[in-house]
Structure 1
Amino acid sequence: MSHRIGVIPGDGIGHEVVPIALGIVRAAGVELDTVDYDLGGERYLRDGVVLDDATIAEWRGLDALFLGAVGTPDVPPGVIERGLLLKMRFDLDLYVNQRPFLAPGHEFIVIRENTEGTYAGEGGFLRKGTPHEVATQGSVNTRFGVERCVRYAFELARSRERKHLTLVHKTNVLTFAGDLWERTFDAVAAEYPDVETAYNHVDAACIYFVESPQRYDVIVTDNLFGDILTDLGGAVSGGIGLASSGNLNPDRTGPSMFEPVHGSAPDIAGQNKANPVAAILSAAMMLDFLGEADAAARIRAACAETATLTGSTTEIGDAVAGRL
């Protein structure tokens, strides 16, 4: 069976790691029918295009999207982030961000709500550019949005051996949003008596990520806290260059999007220095979501067998392919 995949190499090292990751997928025996899309900072600088509705409509006919990295230093902050990445999440309803981490001898997963919170864009300026300027930035939290994310996390925890789920928030200060999250979490927990639960404030979780990550199995948290915690998770599990992610539409009303989270790294772009493992592991996540679990498992095993290797982008890619 062939899977129709939209491919967005993007900027910088995205052009180097994406072909290697897709080559690994094909080496694992999975057929891909790819459609390339020229999007990112370089495209914006060239002709002002970020992401239009016609492209979103075209993507709805695909099985998945695979993104390399986007962003260039010459593009103002927020243009690509809001116009491309967040537009993809909102328009395709990619309401779950799933990030697996392998700390020393221990794997845990962070589930981040991906379409609400402070990233929903509520806010604005008053008297901008004057000495009396005011800026507001709201956090949007709906029972619908929180519950579907929390329920996904419970289902994931139930499928795992340990069956443990931790809610991370800041309920002692964010007494409105935190209260909604906590009440929703507790209500859904009643339907999963086989899943053990816990709660951590986000500042405590930052300590535990470093000192004792083994306490975690699955974590569920809001958009902003999840963004911060998952970068920390990358640091404690070998570096952001190994961090994979999936932006998921679990209801499958549109394609899910998979990406390494290391960014475009313009300082090393074009030098064959980027570690392609994060992109390869993101491709393995994509295969899991597409029902190719055997190929995904073999790719992860090949990455694990080459984890201690150093070398160029292509050398590491060749080593992983060789294990297949």
Structure 2
Amino acid sequence: MRKIELAALPGDGVGIEVVESAKDVLHTLADAHGGVEFSFTTFPWSCDYYVEHGEMMPKDAMNTLKQFEALFLGAVGNPALVPDHISLWGMLIKIRREFELSVNVRPAKRMKGIASPLANPKDFDFVVVRENSEGEYSEVGGRIHQGENEVAIQNAVFTRRATEKVLRYAFQLAEKRNSRLVSATKSNGIVHSMPFWDEVTKAVATEYPHVNVQSNHIDALAAFFVTKPSEFDVVVASNLFGDILTDVGSAIMGSIGIAPSANINLEGRYPSMFEPVHGSAPDIAGKGLANPIGQIWTAKMMLDHFGYDELGQTLLDAIEDVTESGIKTRDIGGTSTTKEVTEAIKSSILQAARV
């Protein structure tokens, strides 16, 4: 029996509810199928913690977290208490940067029983691989002068090392799927970083001759996600472009509340972090309205990361079994509560184990 030690970071708002739901489902999955056990240590770091302590996490938080095999995050943010740039840079982005979580992976697929807002979505199933450590989200820049002469400068930073790293991950993922990859660019308007991105993409592509590679400008690509999402398999993008594309992916699935993601440390020096794409939604927190599927699907990605692909597929099958049966929260057209969806997924797992 393998015991996996995990740090749970519920964070703010609905994060607290959906992390508990996903933990409950994971324990049910482990009990039903055996071979693995999940041990969670929960940390209360959040905007509430900031109000009390003046910081999002304690000074030694990173040393504490690096002892775990993975981090399971709910959501970070409560702008009524703490400005977003303080809460995110004090916790979420701090973890991503210091633990070198250089690759962010976000799948999007047509889910059974969930209506897409698209008129004819077909059966799309693609993954966006986002560079997660630099690019447009750098800290390089500043502001000078005041009034009408004020200037704000924000520099994008692209290193060959990080760009090659995310591209190789994307190409390797494409090889495992359908050997099709699209690179997001904007080299016709951004004259330094995007031509560099394109050049590195072409160089890395020579290492993967069996993968069909295309390059699409980000504006056209965002439109294609809406008009023909079923044509995509693996999409690789810079930090900003990947962030935007994955929200489009969430939208065409039917709700950002069902979208998962993984922040991966490729070298294994630090724990990877798994979090749903949705935010903390403070307006519905504590009301039992939150959709737990994003967090539970995120747990599936964590299982895949640890090599438990069959358990991960069992979990995803249970999610779709429940949504297809009509047990859904209101954001995806249902009337069920967080707890009712969670219990239904647990029941589906147990039923599958008995078959």
TM-score (structure 2 length as normaliser) = 0.89
Q: CA deviation at 1:192?
A: 0.5
How do 1:111-130 and structure 2 match up within 5 A? 111-127=129-145, 129-130=146-147
CA contact (8 A) 2:49 2:57 kept: no
How do 1:60-209 and structure 2 match up within 5 A? 60-74=66-80, 75-103=82-110, 104-127=122-145, 129-160=146-177, 162-209=178-225
- Tell me the distance in 1 between the aligned counterparts of 2:59 and 2:132: 20
- Tell me the distance in 2 between the aligned counterparts of 1:52 and 1:156: 36
The answer to whether structure 1 residue 312 and structure 2 residue 337 are counterparts is yes
- Tell me the distance in 1 between the aligned counterparts of 2:25 and 2:311: 10
How do 1:12-51 and structure 2 match up within 5 A? 12-29=13-30, 30-51=36-57
TM-score (structure 1 length as normaliser) = 0.97
The residue that corresponds to 2:258 in the other structure is 242
Moved more, 311-320 or 102-111: 102-111
- Tell me the distance in 2 between the aligned counterparts of 1:220 and 1:65: 24
Question: Residue 10 of structure 1 aligns to which amino acid in structure 2?
Answer: G
The answer to whether structure 1 residue 219 and structure 2 residue 235 are counterparts is yes
1:14-64 alpha-carbon deviations (Å, 9 max, x no partner): 111101101111111141111111112121122212134511112112100
The residue that corresponds to 1:230 in the other structure is 246
State the identity %.
39
SS of 1:300 mapped into structure 2: helix
- Tell me the distance in 2 between the aligned counterparts of 1:259 and 1:313: 17
SS of 1:6 mapped into structure 2: strand
- Tell me the distance in 2 between the aligned counterparts of 1:205 and 1:309: 33
Question: Residue 44 of structure 1 aligns to which amino acid in structure 2?
Answer: Y
The answer to whether structure 1 residue 292 and structure 2 residue 308 are counterparts is yes
- Tell me the distance in 2 between the aligned counterparts of 1:68 and 1:225: 23
- Tell me the distance in 2 between the aligned counterparts of 1:241 and 1:251: 30
SS of 2:148 mapped into structure 1: coil
Moved more, 99-108 or 144-153: 99-108
- Cα distance 1:53–1:174, how it changes in 2: closer, same or farther (>3 A)? farther
1:83-130 alpha-carbon deviations (Å, 9 max, x no partner): 211111110000000000003412100000000112121111102x43
What stretches of structure 1 of length at least 5 have no aligned partner? none
What stretches of structure 2 of length at least 5 have no aligned partner? 31-35, 111-121, 329-335, 350-355
- Tell me the distance in 2 between the aligned counterparts of 1:190 and 1:261: 33
SS of 2:278 mapped into structure 1: coil
Cα-Cα RMSD: 1.1
1:58-91 alpha-carbon deviations (Å, 9 max, x no partner): 2112100000111112211300121211111110
Question: Residue 40 of structure 1 aligns to which amino acid in structure 2?
Answer: S
